[in-house]
């Protein structure tokens, strides 16, 4: 799960062009991962067992880890970093090592869930790299996920329609928003999240080959808005427009 | 310097429309350093696409046949691309910036332990290899330098217009042999539900979108009526999906569907950038909002400053009046 700025209407960049200006932004879980957390909570409710939430990010990401505990995760792990964005190869190396460490202590996870892509960097690859490093099957973009008899049944949308996969466990699945409707924390959940122990694992991994030089806003599309009126009296003007552009 | 190799995305032989955009981007990039564009087709079903690839500038089409490649599988495709890179030694490999393209390229990158740049809009190839790529679903662009033996990237959909080569070639055909471990079949499609024919959010000519301003699930009835009247479909913002008023399949935006209708009615939607990136390809936008300063109002071509609960029924009524008239 990745901590990302919760956007206002516009995302600005700092003066040096290297970072998102978060001065007026809060933080949140990246939306696809929010659904991955919900999926984890539901699977534990259905099958028993435990779900762990893991993040690589600034120490403040503990806030999102605790939130995940408040909505159904049992354990939390933070891989703290100080520079704000690790490239995907490095991120995947660190997560692979951390999963290895957790599995050495407690046995293998049946399922690793990732977001389809993180909302901010949109790299589409960390989960796939981790799956490959661990030698596990991986499908991205899940909009349906059930587990039975040692198999994860995954469905996703494609141009031609829905397609289904059956991955033998242990497996890795990349989740897309729309898989489920994430729940809100209950009072009990909030209390549990305050008490939960959040473990720290020092991230390891050589940097990969992608270095961000600069972020910028795309060119603004300026539009001269034609205000057709105020209130329902403007209905004829709206319908005139529909006739003009030929949809009526 | 090696060629620019394009991995042709297709579904059991039907090429993804974005593949020709990737071919076009590859030609521009290859032209910068005077190398050839080559293409890689995976699975026998893709053989028929080869002729068209010549028209888009492919000097050679490398075809791969294997019994595990009669349908799409992310691990099998990633493995084929990784083996093709080793066998053919391209300097750049491009694919489409679709969910599938990004998936098989990431699978290949993992196998090659090479960087992968998703959704690139621009390439600069000089002393170093630099890209501009889409972040935040399109609200920011990133300039990045890539250091690698082979540069793997996907081309952001719609960032390049597909255009045929000025001098089309009859692409030479070659067959590439790969060795696939049966374990790649773990991730193969086992069943499909074909999409029902009819308008979808992505293809509808009219979308009537509702946001938090609609206030409830019931509030969408009036939007549905207007959509029905215009042969359109209802869309919504993430605030609506999060409240459980509509299904996620109706969501327009970065983590929803990208729409391109003739007209988009944006009702009670503030126009946050994540929503806007999904709506901005609409030909005309009519915003209905009580707040004249709302982003959606200032960005739209047309706006009405009004309570949508009064406005939408009034529009539907006016349309019916004129039709009856
Ligand atoms: C990573 C990420 C991805 C996201 N992806 C998406 C996405 O795909 N799609 C998406 O939509 N959002 C997405 N969001 C959320 C987005 O940032 C906004 O929160 C969301 O779009 C706001 O929805 P809204 O405009 O309906 O609500 P609000 O921002 O609350 O706006 C409501 C609007 O309704 C108007 N209004 C209120 N009452 C009325 C009335 N009676 N009549 C007329 N107007 C009225 C108000 O003036 C206001 O402008 C994403 C966020 C993140 C962090």
Contact B115 A121 (CB under 8 A): no
Worst-scoring range by mean pLDDT, A14-28, B72-86, B119-133, B210-224? A14-28
**Percentage of residues of chain A with pLDDT beyond 90:** 85
Q: What is the pLDDT of residue B167?
A: 85
A238 touches chain B (CB under 8 A): yes
Is A7's C-beta closer than 6 angstroms to any atom of ligand 1? Answer: yes
Helix H, strand E, coil C: the string for chain B is CCCEEEECCEECCEECCHHHHHHHHHHHHHHHHCCCEEEEEECHHHHHHHHHHHHCCEEEEEEECCHHHCCCCHHHHHHHHHHHHHHHCCCEEEEECCHHHHHHHHHHHHHHCCCEEEEEEEEEECCCEEEEEEEHHHCEEEEEEECCCCEEEEECCCCCCCCCCCCCCCCEEEEECCCCCHHHHHHCEEEEEECCCCCCCCCCCEEEEECHHHCCCCCHHHHHHHHHHCCCEEEECHHHHHCCCCCHHHEECCCCECCCCCEEEEECCCCCHHHHHHHCCCCEEEEEECCCCCHHHHHCCEEEECCHHHHHHHHHHHHHHHHHC
Q: Pairing between strand A151-158 and A161-168?
A: antiparallel
β-strand partners of B124: B130
Q: Is the pLDDT of residue A214 over 90?
A: yes
Question: CB–CB of B311/B304 below 8 Å?
Answer: yes
Q: Does A5 touch chain B (CB under 8 A)?
A: no
How confident is the model over B187-219, as pLDDT tens digits? 999 999 988 778 899 999 999 999 999 999 999
Q: Dihedral, CA atoms, B290, B291, B297, B302, nearest 10 degrees?
A: 40
pLDDT of residue B190: 95
B324 touches chain A (CB under 8 A): no
What is the four-CA torsion angle of A185, A188, A189, A190, rounded to 10 degrees? 80
**B143 close to B132: Cβ distance less than 8 angstroms:** yes
> What is the share, in percent, of chain B residues with pLDDT greater than 70?
100
What's the pLDDT band for B68 if we cut at 50, 70, 90? Answer: very high
Model confidence, pTM: 0.95
Q: Which residues pair with B117 in a beta bridge?
A: B153
Tokens coding A187:
């009072």
Distance spanning both ends of chain A, measured CA to CA: 47
pLDDT at residue B112, as a whole number: 98
Condensed to tens digits (0 to 9), the pLDDT of residues A47-83 reads 999 999 999 999 999 999 999 999 999 999 999 999 8
* 195-214 of A, contacting B, C-beta below 8 A: 208-214
Q: What is the mean pLDDT of chain A?
A: 95
Residue B2, pLDDT score: 93
| pLDDT at residue number A142 | 98
The share of chain A scoring above pLDDT 70, in percent, equals 98
B309 Cα: distance to centroid of ligand 1 (angstroms): 17
Length of chain A: 248
- Average pLDDT in the B169-183 region? 95
- Determine if the peptide bond prior to A205 is cis (ω within 30°): no
Give the model's confidence band at A9: pLDDT under 50 very low, under 70 low, under 90 confident, else very high: low
Confidence of residue A23 (pLDDT cuts 50, 70, 90): confident
Interface predicted TM-score (ipTM): 0.95
Using the mean position of ligand 1's atoms as its centre, give its distance from the Cα of residue B238 in Å: 6
**pLDDT for residue A89 is more than 80:** yes
């Amino acid at each position: 799960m990745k901590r990302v700025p919760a956007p206002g209407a516009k995302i600005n960049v700092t003066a040096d062009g290297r970072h998102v200006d978060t001065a007026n932004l809060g933080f949140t879980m990246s939306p696809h991962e929010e659904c991955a957390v919900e999926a984890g909570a539901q699977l534990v409710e259905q099958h028993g067992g435990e779900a762990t939430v893991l993040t690589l990010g600034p120490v403040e990401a503990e806030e999102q880890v605790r939130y995940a505990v408040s909505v159904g995760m049992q354990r939390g792990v933070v891989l703290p970093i100080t520079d704000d964005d690790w490239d995907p190869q490095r991120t995947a190396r660190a997560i692979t090592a951390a999963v290895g460490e957790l599995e050495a202590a407690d046995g293998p996870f049946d399922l690793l869930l990732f977001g389809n892509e993180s909302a901010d960097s949109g790299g589409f690859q960390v989960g796939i790299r981790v799956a490959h490093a661990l030698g596990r099957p991986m499908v991205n973009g899940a909009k349906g996920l059930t587990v039975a008899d040692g198999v994860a049944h995954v469905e996703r949308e494609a141009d031609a329609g829905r397609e289904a996969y059956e991955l033998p466990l242990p497996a890795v699945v990349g989740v897309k928003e729309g898989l489920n409707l994430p729940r809100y924390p209950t009072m009990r959940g909030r209390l549990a999240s305050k008490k939960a122990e959040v473990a720290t694992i020092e991230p390891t991994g050589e940097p990969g080959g992608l270095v961000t030089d600069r972020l910028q806003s795309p060119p603004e599309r300026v539009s001269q808005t034609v205000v057709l009126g105020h209130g329902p009296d403007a209905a004829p003007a709206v319908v005139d427009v529909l006739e003009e552009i030929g949809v009526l | 310097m090696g060629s620019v190799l394009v991995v042709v995305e297709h579904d059991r032989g039907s090429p993804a429309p974005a593949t020709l955009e990737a071919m076009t981007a590859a030609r521009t990039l290859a032209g910068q350093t005077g190398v050839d564009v080559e293409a890689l087709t995976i699975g026998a079903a893709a053989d028929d696409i080869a002729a068209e690839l010549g028209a888009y500038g492919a000097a050679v089409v490398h075809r791969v046949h294997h019994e595990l490649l009669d349908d799409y599988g992310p691990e099998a495709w990633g493995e084929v691309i990784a083996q093709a890179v080793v066998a053919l030694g391209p300097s750049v490999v491009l694919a489409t910036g679709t969910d599938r393209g990004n998936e098989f390229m990431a699978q290949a990158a993992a196998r090659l332990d090479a960087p992968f740049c998703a959704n690139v809009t621009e390439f600069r190839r000089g002393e170093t290899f630099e890209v501009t790529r889409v972040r935040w679903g399109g609200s920011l662009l990133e300039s990045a330098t890539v250091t690698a033996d082979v540069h793997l990237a996907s081309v952001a959909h719609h960032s390049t217009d597909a255009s045929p080569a000025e001098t089309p070639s009859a692409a030479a055909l070659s067959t590439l042999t790969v060795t696939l471990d049966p374990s790649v079949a773990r991730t193969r499609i086992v069943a499909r539900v074909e999409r029902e024919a009819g308008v979808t959010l992505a293809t509808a000519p009219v979308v009537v979108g509702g946001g938090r301003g609609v206030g409830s699930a019931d509030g969408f009835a009036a939007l549905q009526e207007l959509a029905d009247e215009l042969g359109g479909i209802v869309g919504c913002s993430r605030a609506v999906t999060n409240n459980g008023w509509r299904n996620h399949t109706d969501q327009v935006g970065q983590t929803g569907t990208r729409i391109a209708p003739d007209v988009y009615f944006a009702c009670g939607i503030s126009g946050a950038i994540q929503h806007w990136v999904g709506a901005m390809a609409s030909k005309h936008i009519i915003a209905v909002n009580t707040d004249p300063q709302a982003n959606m109002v200032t960005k739209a071509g047309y706006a009405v400053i009004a309570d949508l609960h009064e406005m939408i029924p009034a529009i539907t009524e006016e349309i019916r009046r004129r039709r009856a008239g």
